[in-house]
Structure 1
Amino acid sequence: MHRQNWKTILPVMGIIFALLIGATGLRTVLTSQSHTQIGGPYALTDENGHMVSQSDFQARYTLIYFGYTHCVDICPLTLATVSAALDELGPQGQNITPIFISVDPARDTPTVVREYIQRFSPRIVGLTGTEAQLQPIMAAFHVSARRRVSNGPGYLMDHSSLLYLMDGQNHLAGMIPVDSSAHQIAVELKQLLPSPKNHPL
């Protein structure tokens, strides 16, 4: 009786194991595909009026966030949280350059961006540009942004919010939700960064 049960169970277990292996492989393929489809080259003006491209950060990790200086809540909270997370990482975080890319070129001149990012950390690089320069970059990172009329003067920008960790070759290493705490972001970054033993930072 027991032998018959095992004869019945073993093939079923083999099928389940094969399905699990297949699911793991599929997840790996989807992840690698999504990573290759997100991100790309960029050339924008920094907060000091200098042209900056991804090649300026060769061999360094960058943590990219798309936002705008007139944002009243999510953007300033995100930049403050990222700054705290990098401080928590200590020496390991020194190899990460946080980058703020404006999605509001009409108002975010280099001077405006410089005054804005100085509120959070001297480590943040602020980038802006023309509409024509920003559109292909936003498309490469799958970032959407549109104007929304506010109750007060001016307008607000509805935009997607994610943190993109790019490696030293400007390839996507991972994405982090902006509603994470500073500690959660620090933990995520530790998991995404190379081991300090093998790759000193």
Structure 2
Amino acid sequence: MKRHTSRTRADTRRSGVSAQQDRKLIFLIAGVTVALLAAAAAFRTLLTSQNHDTVGGPYALTDGYERAVTQDDFRGRYTLIYFGYTHCVDVCPLTLGTMSAALDELGPKGRAVTPMFISVDPERDTPPVVQDYVSRFSPRIVGLTGTDRQLRPVMDAFHVSAGRHAGNGSGYLIGHSSLLYLMDGRNHLVGMIPVDSSSHQMAADLSRMLPGS
């Protein structure tokens, strides 16, 4: 009877520790989500005052099929760029889903835009991982990744910040700035869209920014 009681108490303690760890992870995820959405909301008021010449730049990365890709591959086409990572549990999948829905809503005008996902997590986001991820949202999304040395200047050019948050081993989270960047056919910034937009709002913003409005 004593052995059974001891095992029961040990199991209870382990369950308590596991539940406590789960709660900490939930609070961490919630905190990161709130921070990202708050930052996006703050950016909404700044978008019209940004100097577009200071945002964006060239890139030389790798797509999901391990092909070298640069901005010149999209010359003459508008691109809609989002920086994120495949292990993201909230803002990234929501944004990619909203972006895909917005472009679908625009019809022919939306089909003239190439949606793009650039990873901020080179350690885990290999080309096959990125390709598998973006294909869940739309076959049109071009997923790009690279080494830290390749990605850092691109992130700097777009003023994207990213930093790890506590986690176990490879289970870390990344807090990163979240905006959508609409670039014209010469890779010049047309405008930025906050990620807290609905698909309808995003479609309206894109329609206003694209030619033929």
In structure 1, what is the equivalent of residue 38 of structure 2? Answer: none
In structure 2, what is the equivalent of residue 110 of structure 1? Answer: 127
Matched, 1:98 2:124: no
| Alpha-carbon distance in structure 2 between the residues aligned to 1:179 and 1:95 | 23
- CA deviations over 1:162-200 (Å, ceiling 9, x no partner): 00000000000000000100000000001000116xxxx
Post-superposition offset of 1:153? 5.9
In structure 2, what is the equivalent of residue 72 of structure 1? Answer: 89
| Alpha-carbon distance in structure 2 between the residues aligned to 1:31 and 1:58 | 25
- Matched AA of 1:179: D
> SS in structure 1 opposite 2:154?
helix
> SS in structure 2 opposite 1:97?
strand
In structure 2, what is the equivalent of residue 179 of structure 1? Answer: 196
- CA deviations over 1:74-118 (Å, ceiling 9, x no partner): 000000000000000001111100000000000000010011011
Q: Percent identity?
A: 70
Matched, 1:62 2:79: yes
Q: Which runs of 5+ in 1 are unaligned?
A: 1-29, 197-201
Q: State the 4+ residue runs in structure 1 displaced beyond 6 angstroms.
A: none
Matched, 1:89 2:87: no
Post-superposition offset of 1:134? 0.5
| Alpha-carbon distance in structure 2 between the residues aligned to 1:33 and 1:114 | 32
| Alpha-carbon distance in structure 1 between the residues aligned to 2:49 and 2:199 | 27
Aligned length: 167
In structure 1, what is the equivalent of residue 3 of structure 2? Answer: none
Post-superposition offset of 1:34? 1.3
| Alpha-carbon distance in structure 2 between the residues aligned to 1:148 and 1:141 | 22
Matched, 1:124 2:141: yes
| Alpha-carbon distance in structure 2 between the residues aligned to 1:144 and 1:126 | 19
| Alpha-carbon distance in structure 2 between the residues aligned to 1:45 and 1:153 | 22
Q: TM-score, normalised by structure 1?
A: 0.80
In structure 2, what is the equivalent of residue 17 of structure 1? Answer: none
Q: TM-score, normalised by structure 2?
A: 0.76
- Matched AA of 1:52: V
Larger radius of gyration: 1
Post-superposition offset of 1:150? 3.2
Q: Which runs of 5+ in 2 are unaligned?
A: 1-46
> SS in structure 2 opposite 1:120?
coil
| Alpha-carbon distance in structure 2 between the residues aligned to 1:55 and 1:114 | 21
- Matched AA of 2:159: H
More helix by share: 2
